[in-house]
Chain A
C-alpha cells in the first residue's frame, strides 16, 4: 500500500497523458512528440527554483573548504610544535624546503640508483599496473567460473579462504625463487594480493544476478553469448569494479613494502634508500606523495564505477 501511495503522482500523470494520447490520433497529437518535455517540466521548474534561493551558502562553503584546511593546518602546527627542539626529526619548514627542491626536478636521471621522485612513482605504478592487470586477466574469468558453476566454486573456495589471509609479502620469496629476478617478483606479489578481491567480488556478483533477469533470458531462449554480454556482464560489472577498486588499493599498499625488499627504482625502494641516507624530510614527502597517488587511484576508480551504475 505504501508504495502505491508513494508512486501515485507520477503514475497518475502517466495514465492521464496516455489517456490524452489515445484520445487523439497519433499523427495530430502533439503529446506523442513532447511527452518527455511534459514529464520534465515539473522537474525543470523545481531545478530552476532551487538554485535561486541559496545564492552562495557561506556556511556550507566554509564547512567544505575551510574545515579541511584548518585540519591540515592543525596537523602541521602540532608537527611544528613537537619538532621545535628536535635535532633528528625535520620541522615542517625544512621538509617544505626539501620538497621544493625535489619537485623542481622530479624527472632527473643520474643512473639506476639516483633518479627523480617522478620516475620512482612511475616505476611503482608500472609494477602495480602489470601485477594488477595480470590479476584482472586471471581473477575476473575465474570469478565468473566460480559464480556460474557450483562444482568449481566448492573446489576453489577452500583454497581461496586459506590463501587470502596470507600477507602478500610471504609470497615474495616464492617469486624470487621462480623468476630469479627482483622485478618480476615484485609484480608477482602485486598479482597475488590483488587477485583475491577480484575473484571474490566477481563471483558474488555472478551469484547475485537477479533471478528475474535470468528468467527473462530463459523465456527469450537467449544464446549463451547473449546471456553473457546482455545480462551477466552488465549486472556483474558494479561488483567487478568494487573488486578492482579494493585490489588497486591493496596493490598500492603492498608495492611500497615489496620494493623495500626487492630494490630497484620505485617509491618503496626510494623510501628505504632515503632512510639509509638519513634523509627524513624525503621520507615524510614520500609518505604524502604515496597517500596522494593512492587517493587519486581510488577516486579515478570510483568515478569509473559510478558511470556503470544503473540504479
Chain B
C-alpha cells in the first residue's frame, strides 16, 4: 500500500432513465508520486468517468480508491481538476478566478498579500500575467485553458487531474501548451493524471499510458511504460525509435485490437 494513488476493483454503474449502465468494471491501477499518467481510449470508454472517480466527483459503486493513504470520499482541493472546457467563471477576472482557489486553500494560514502573490505567481507560471484583469470572454481559448491550469496549480495539489485539457484547441496552440505543461511539470514535480484521445499527446507527455477497452463495462486493457528520457523535445522525438515504438503500441491497441468504428457504424 505504498502507492500514491491506489485504485482497487473499482466498479461504476450509472442509474439512467433507460436502466442501469455499467460504465467501468474491475479497475485496478496504481500511480506513483511524481508520475505522469495518461488515460487513453475511444470516446465513451469511461476514461473521464475514471478521472472523476479519482477527483471524487463520482463515487464508485463498489471497490476503493486511495490517495496518499486516505480513501477518496469526495472532491477536494488536494486533487485539482483542469476541466475540458476550462470552466472559468465568466463574471470574474483571470486573477479573481485563480484567487478564488488560492483563498480557499491557503486563506486560513496566509495573509492577503501572500495570497495575491501566489495568484500572480501562478498566472506568471503559465505566461498569463498580462491578462490578469481580463475576463475569460476577452481572451482566446488557449489562454483560458492556461488560466484553468494556473488555477489548478496554484492550489499546490497532490495530484493534478486533467480532463482532455487541450481537446478543444487547434493543433498549434495544443502543441505549444503541451510543451509548456512539460516544463511546468518538470519544475513542480507534480503527479498528473490526464485523459486524452490523442496518441501523440499521450506518448509525448506521460511516463505511463493506461489504455482502456471499449465500453460498456470498460476496463484497463493494457498499461504501457514510456521509456523516454526527460526533458523531451517533440521534434527530436519524432525520429526516436522508442517513441515510434510506443506510438505504434498504442495505435495497435486502439485500432487493431479494440477498434470501434465498424461497431458504431452499424
Contacts and interface: CB of A to CB of B under 8 A. Distances in A.
Interface in B121-177: 124, 127, 129-131, 134-135, 137, 140-143, 155, 168-173, 175-176
B142 A14 contact: yes
Interface stretch (A47-55, A156-164, A212-220): A212-220
A219 B80 contact: yes
Given A22-B127, A36-B131, A220-B101, A7 B141 contact: yes
Contact of B170 (A11, A22, A34): A11
A218 to B, nearest CB: 4
B76 interface: yes
A216 B89 contact: yes
Interface in A4-18: 4-5, 7-8, 10-15, 18
A8 B90 CA distance: 22
A32 interface: yes
Contacts of B100: 220, 222, 226, 230
Contacts of B104: 220-222, 226
A108 B55 CA distance: 70
A22 B128 CA distance: 11
A5 B170 contact: yes
Contact of B83 (A21, A215, A230, A234): A215
B64 interface: no
Given A212-B83, A220-B100, A7 B77 contact: no
Interface in B61-85: 74-77, 79-81, 83, 85
Contacts of B76: 219, 221
Contacts of B238: none
Nearest to B141: A7
For chain B, the bracket of interface size reads 35 or more
Nearest to A18: B127
B14 to A, nearest CB: 15
Contact of A311 (B83, B134, B137): B137
A86 interface: no
Contact of A231 (B89, B170, B180): B89
Contact of B89 (A13, A14, A31, A213): A213
A212 B85 contact: yes
Contact of B90 (A22, A33, A36, A311): A311
A311 B138 CA distance: 10
A173 interface: no
A310 interface: yes
Contacts of B129: 26, 32
Interface string B5-22: 000000000000000000
23 contacts: A4-B171, A7-B141, A7-B169, A11-B170, A11-B173, A14-B173, A15-B142, A15-B173, A18-B180, A26-B124, A32-B129, A32-B130, A212-B87, A213-B87, A215-B81, A215-B83, A219-B75, A220-B100, A220-B155, A226-B100, A231-B89, A235-B91, A311-B137
Given A10-B140, A12-B173, A36-B134, 4 more contacts: A13-B140, A218-B57, A226-B100, A234-B89
Interface of A: 3-5, 7-8, 10-15, 18-19, 21-22, 26, 31-36, 212-213, 215-216, 218-222, 226, 230-231, 234-235, 310-311
Listed from nearest, the 8 A-B pairs whose CB atoms lie closest are A310-B90, A212-B87, A11-B173, A15-B176, A234-B91, A35-B130, A218-B75, A8-B170
